[in-house]
Amino acid sequence: MIFAYLLEFILFLCWGSFLNVVGYRIIRGYSFFGRSYCPHCRTQLAWYDTIPLISFILLKGRCRSCQNIISPLYPAIEFLTALMLTLMLIYIDQKYWFGYFLFISAGIVTIRTDFEKMLISRYVTWGLIPVAFILSYMHLLPLSLMESIRGALFGYLVLWIVAHLFHAIRNIEGMGEGDIDLLAMIGSFTGITGAWTSLLLGSFLGIISCIVQMALSKRAHPKIAFGPWLVLGSFIYIFLQQQIHELIEPFF
């Protein structure tokens, strides 16, 4: 059993490595295929320098040819992908694996692009909303088509309103377009409860990260990406959804 999970974990590390490439290239408009290279010196990487986690550790986080720092996002994304997908195999009903595999992968790509460039790709958000509708219609997600549609609309509207309020009151862009699209996508996979739970948990995690960054950088207003925290909030939701529904049931 343990051995099987270990093997799957390793396979998912490789998948995470591919999602890194997707995230890196999707916001630059490059093709997803073709050999990996160092973004600093453009040297093509040998296969033994692209082994998930291991290569990063062996190279001590630096490129073999130019010695520039390799973004720690690479091993972090690989590890998070493997952890989330292995937990999915353990805790989530088999009939929902395909749907959540897509959802988790999309979330991981978003974490990568938003942390790196404060960008969230519409291929990932808008592209997956109709997929969630189809999956829920086919009973491959634990919600009905109507719940999926309502979740997407709710997710979009709630952040759209927040963004416009922010703009009206303080005349600043508090919320990016990408965050609005992202919560709509999260809502399409998790329904209204999923969308607002993700928003609540995401805001909480975002505020903590903001405080930590302020303490570390001593800047009064660090620019923080909100998307990754929304995604992490939604990951917590999909694993604890039963408990969350039981918790809020008496109030509705």
Catalog residues that contact Zn ion under the rule CB under 5 A. Answer: 38, 40-41, 63, 65-66
Helices (H), 92-144: 97-117, 122-137
Residue 45 or 131: which CB sits closer to Zn ion? 45
Contact partners, residue 242, CB within 8 Å, separation at least 6: none
| Nearer CB in complex with Zn ion: 34/127 | 34
Give the residue ranges of DSSP H helices in 138-176. 145-170
Cβ at position 43, least distance to Zn ion in Å = 5
Structure tokens at 205: 């995690």
> Which one, 49 or 181, has the nearer CB to Zn ion?
49
**Based on CB atoms, which residue is closest to Zn ion, 46 or 90?**
46
Distance CA 158, CA 202 (A): 14
Q: Taking the complex as a whole, how short is the minimal distance between the CB of residue 58 and Zn ion, in angstroms?
A: 15
Task: From 163, 164, 185, 187, select the one nearest 175 (Cα to Cα).
Answer: 163
In the complex, the smallest distance separating the C-beta of residue 46 from Zn ion, rounded to whole angstroms, is: 12
Q: How far is the CB of 22 from Zn ion (least distance, A)?
A: 21
CA–CA separation, 198 and 153 (whole Å)? 15
**Cβ–Cβ < 8 Å for 231, 195:** no
Q: Residue 72: which of 85, 64, 58, 62 has the closest Cα?
A: 62
Q: How far does CA 189 lie from the centroid of its chain?
A: 13
CB of 110 to Zn ion, least distance (A): 26
Pick 63 or 124: Cβ nearer Zn ion: 63
Q: Which residues contact 97 (CB under 8 A, 6 or more apart)?
A: 88, 89
CA pair distance 17, 88, nearest whole angstrom = 18
Nearer to Zn ion, 14 or 38 (CB): 38
For the bound state, the minimum distance from the C-beta of residue 199 to Zn ion, rounded and expressed in Å, comes to: 39
